[in-house]
């Protein structure tokens, strides 16, 4: 009976997919690319988190994150700044102004109507990962790639 219960609980978690990429924009801006599986999938919430698992040397403002809710039913690919939340989105902004080189971070989004979570887009990265990107490159699923490569990978993950 315990095994069946464990399988049921594990089976209830929404799928996490590599549908988020992080890249560098002009003026030290860090950009986030969100790619839902379908242009009809509403993005319900976007969350940026930082951690200080490495301990000392990470400034608190470089670790603070935010969560944000797009207005209405935002669908399709979205590109937003990691440091400036989009106008009209509702949420709690953090005090992030730059990434700490030794900081660990994640960006995720949730897709599904109302309180239903169909799947979650996610990427994890460090400040070093983003700093090492060349112009036009994006960090997703643990590696650097072009926007076209990210789109193809995201489409395959769906």
pLDDT in tens, 72-95: 767 889 998 888 777 888 876 666
Residues sharing a CB contact under 8 Å with residue 20, sequence separation 6 or more, in sequence order: 32, 33, 34, 35, 107, 108, 109, 121, 122, 123, 140
Residues sharing a CB contact under 8 Å with residue 88, sequence separation 6 or more, in sequence order: 70, 71
Gap between the Cα atoms of 45 and 110, Å rounded: 5
Structure confidence at residue 77 (pLDDT)? 92
Structure confidence at residue 147 (pLDDT)? 96
Mean pLDDT of 12-27: 87
Model confidence pTM above 0.85: no
Beta strands in the chain (DSSP E): 15-17, 20-24, 30-34, 42-51, 66-69, 74-75, 78-81, 90-92, 104-111, 119-126, 137-140, 143-146
pLDDT at 55 over 70: no
Structure confidence at residue 4 (pLDDT)? 39
> Per-residue pLDDT tens for 114-137?
778 889 999 999 999 999 999 899
């Amino acid at each position: 009976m315990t095994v069946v219960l464990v399988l049921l609980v594990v089976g209830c978690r929404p799928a996490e997919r590599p549908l988020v990429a992080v890249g560098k924009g002009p003026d030290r801006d860090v950009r986030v690319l969100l790619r839902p599986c379908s242009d009809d999938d509403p993005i319900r919430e976007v969350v940026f988190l930082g951690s200080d698992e490495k301990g000392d040397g990470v400034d608190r403002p470089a670790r603070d994150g935010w969560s944000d809710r797009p207005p209405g039913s935002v669908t399709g690919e979205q590109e937003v700044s990691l440091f400036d939340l989009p106008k009209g989105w509702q949420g709690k902004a953090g005090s992030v102004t730059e990434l700490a080189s030794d900081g660990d971070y994640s960006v995720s989004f949730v897709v599904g109507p109302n309180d239903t979570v169909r799947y979650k887009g996610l990427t994890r990265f460090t400040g070093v990962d983003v700093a090492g990107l060349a112009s036009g490159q994006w960090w997703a699923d643990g590696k650097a790639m072009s926007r076209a490569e990210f789109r193809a990978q995201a489409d395959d993950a769906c």
